[in-house]
Structure 1
Amino acid sequence: MTSALPAADRELVRAAAHVARTRCRGDNHTMAAAGRAPDGRIVTAVNVYHFTGGPCAELVLIGAAAAQGVYELETVVAVGDRDRGVVPPCGRCRQVLLDCFPAVKVLVGRGDRVRSVPVADLLPESYVWADHQVEADTAAPSEP
């Protein structure tokens, strides 16, 4: 992990790596995620692997954060078990993160090339569900 990465982001990677190392055991839990709230709190989670397509660690993180009263995340990262390091989010997670937290930053890259990128940069020309809500609100007919 590069020392050029801000200390808060290095701490987030360390938190996810710790959970991956200590809580991901066997085939059911192979990825850990960590997210930082605007107040600096770090929330962690693990995936639930299942042949039917259980939720990724990033999706579990969103629910775990809400359960702890964290409704905004500034930065998220996923780390694989067996010292696989930072793993970029899958397409579904990218879309869900964009829809839930349009301004969230995602840590991606390997080794000393880990960097923070806006989630929107991971989905160029994407459709943002929040835009649908704004369009629906502005398209509603006004009361006479």
Structure 2
Amino acid sequence: MLTHDVRELTRQVIDHARQYNDDDAHTVAAGALTASGRVVLGLNTYHFLGGPCGEIAVLSNHASSFPDDPITVMAAAYGPTGDVVAPCGKCRQIVHDLSPDIQFVVRDSGGLEMRSARDLLPFAYDQHAAERPQRIHMWQGYESAIRTGAKRQTIRVDDPFRCGPAEIVFDNDNDNDNGAELSLPAVVTDVRTSRRSDLTAVDAQRDGFESLAELNAALDMHYPGLGPDAPVDVVTFRLLGD
């Protein structure tokens, strides 16, 4: 269910779309709700060379009016019908680059609801990804062993890493009580490629297991059907501060 402010944003966008629709170059209106509660409106301009969408017009209007008041929610509507419409792929990427946490008003089977730019573009191109630490996702059951230093290695299949800054991210269905993601800063110190059958008891010990059999059982759990000749990456890491 939408909040009062988002419902009002959506109403203004629909009214704007209906009022200024000309069934030609201007058919989609969009609007943005800022952190302070302001509403910024815009209208698309169609051209065969590629005119701006309504969402892009809104971003320009926002930048020229309230640039220090960040956008929190956006909505768009089709003028001829007044229907709420989802952003196109280009607009999803542009807004994602601005902030992946900006919410879009979209229509689902249950009615109008909000979805973040990240949700609408789950595999977005991220131009800043190389500047951030690589993320190593771990089963939550490994947290204690990693914190105590019993586990300083992970065996990966089709999940490449490199030496350098990293974050150990624990995949937990429940997460923390406040829903925050649990991660630990780390550094990848070594990566080597091996056949599964060439893994040793030492690899098992560094991975936090008592025996090679236990390591292989874990690999079977994480990678069902992994054969003895399959290539695996042995990734060694340390937590920052250790």
Same-fold call, TM > 0.5?
Answer: yes
Find 1:116's aligned residue among 110, 114, 135.
114
**Aligned equivalents of 2:61 and 2:94: distance in 1?**
15
* CA deviation profile, 1:43-89 (whole Å, cap 9, x unmatched): 00000011112110001110010110235210000100012411000
Indicate the residue corresponding to 2:42 in structure 1.
Answer: 45
In the TM superposition, what is the alpha-carbon distance from 1:134 to its structure 2 partner? 4.9
User: Structure 1's 114 and 125: CA in aligned 2 closer, same or farther, altered over 3 A?
Assistant: same
Query: What are the within-5 Å matches in structure 2 for residues 17-36 of structure 1?
Result: 17-36=14-33
Relative contact order (C-alpha < 8 Å, sep 6+): which is higher? 1
Task: Give the gaps of 5 or more residues in structure 1.
Answer: 140-144
Q: How many residues align?
A: 134
Letter of the aligned partner of 1:19 in structure 2?
H
Indicate the residue corresponding to 1:102 in structure 2.
Answer: 100
Task: Give the gaps of 5 or more residues in structure 2.
Answer: 134-164, 166-242
> Which is strand-richer, 1 or 2?
2
Indicate the residue corresponding to 1:63 in structure 2.
Answer: 60
- Decide which moves more: 87-96 or 99-108: 99-108
CA contact (8 A) 2:17 2:82 kept: no
**Aligned equivalents of 1:33 and 1:109: distance in 2?**
15
TM-score (norm. length: structure 1): 0.84
> Which is helix-richer, 1 or 2?
1
TM-score (norm. length: structure 2): 0.51
**Aligned equivalents of 2:123 and 2:90: distance in 1?**
15
In the TM superposition, what is the alpha-carbon distance from 1:112 to its structure 2 partner? 5.9
- Alignment partner of 1:29: what SS? coil
- Over the matched positions of the two proteins, sequence identity in percent amounts to 32
CA contact (8 A) 1:37 1:70 kept: no
